[in-house]
Amino acid sequence: MRAVVYRETGPSSVLQVVERDVPEPGPGEVRVRLVRSGVNPTDWKFRAGMMSGYAEVTPGQDGAGYVDAVGPEVQGFAVGDRVWLVLAQHERPYGTAAQLTVQPTAKVAPLPEAADFDLGASVGVPAVTAHRALTASEFGPARLGPGALTGRTVLVAGGAGAVGNAAIQLARWSGATVVATVSSEEKAALAVAAGAHHVVNYRVADVAEEVRALCPDGVDISVEVAPAQNVAVDLDLVKVHGLVSIYANNGGDEMTMPLRAAFGKNLRFQFLILYTLDPGLVRAAVEDVNAAITDGALRVGEEAGLPLHHYPLEQAAAAHDAVEHGAVGKVLLDIADA
């Protein structure tokens, strides 16, 4: 089988396509014949040197395809099932940038009939991250679905990004009023397509002033991609007992804030990354994501605010570069025909 690998960390040129033996599933594992593989920022960051530890790595946390073989002691999956994967390359060397991958069933989810493989390969890391960002509030909800966030207001920083897009769609599906911040008119149109009720261009407007005019009582949840830059806005806008969910460090690795402002509102700051997230929280997110897909509430493509960029497996380096250089939308590797 063909697989993308790197044997040393560094620039995208360390990626190469090689022939590898077909892997066999062990107990509790399935082999998946991949149709699409999703490329996330952590893929190029790991490859560039942020994390290694294996002699050879096939990148790719997300993907979608068909169950190709089933190992012993597997229940709930059969050959031919359509599935999507999440955290496929976490704690193992071989991810989804390959024709075949072997994964434990905990990393495999059924792909609803309503979804194509583009959607299946796009939801993993972004949608599960967004789910956690929306469900860490002190008074709940712990799960998402119609009515779960009714009466709540959610502020999504970076509404045109993959996580921001998923947060907008999941919050809207759950009944929230959604305000998104963006950096251009093009991205504003994408946030609106995703379902944001209001959009603020932070390059031309004062975010705190604009959001306060739209939401005089403030917001219940801030889904934050750039805390070093935005913490003052979050402290200003988030309500008493509100939630600031921080999932990235765009704009700086260190955050400084006045503590009394956070004390005074009893704010909860939820820092999150999927690689150490409790497995029960991941399972809950996967179930809710599938419910949203089935309801038609979680989509991809420009009409859903998330343009898709397709690359063949042989151009994995170009796909990594596109994500590293800030491609607007979702980058996918096309591995096989559906």
pLDDT attached to residue 251 = 86
What CATH number should be reported for the domain holding residue 261?
3.90.180.10
Given 231, 259, 275, the domain boundary residue is 275
As a whole number, mean pLDDT of residues 160-184 equals 98
Q: Based on the domain organization, do 72 and 201 belong to the same domain?
A: no
Q: Based on the domain organization, do 91 and 159 belong to the same domain?
A: no
Q: Note whether 305 and 9 are within 8 A (CB).
A: no
Q: Is 90 helix (H, G, I), strand (E, B) or coil?
A: coil
pLDDT attached to residue 236 = 97
Q: Based on the domain organization, do 264 and 304 belong to the same domain?
A: no
202 inside domain:
yes
184-198 confidence digits (pLDDT tens): 999 999 999 999 999
pLDDT attached to residue 53 = 80
How would residue 338 be classed by pLDDT, with cut points 50, 70 and 90? confident
237-268 confidence digits (pLDDT tens): 999 999 999 999 998 999 999 999 899 999 99
Q: Based on the domain organization, do 82 and 134 belong to the same domain?
A: no
264 inside domain:
yes
How would residue 300 be classed by pLDDT, with cut points 50, 70 and 90? very high
Q: Which helix (H) or strand (E) holds 119?
A: helix 117-122
Paired sense of beta strands 268-271 and 238-246, if any: parallel
- Candidates 130, 59, 35, 18; CA nearest to 320 is 59
Domain residue limits at 232: 127-275
Q: Based on the domain organization, do 94 and 20 belong to the same domain?
A: yes
| Overall number of domains in the chain | 2
pTM: 0.97
Q: Based on the domain organization, do 223 and 153 belong to the same domain?
A: yes
Q: Based on the domain organization, do 24 and 160 belong to the same domain?
A: no
40 inside domain:
yes
Given 275, 291, 319, the domain boundary residue is 275
Q: Based on the domain organization, do 139 and 271 belong to the same domain?
A: yes
- Candidates 327, 310, 302; CA nearest to 190 is 302
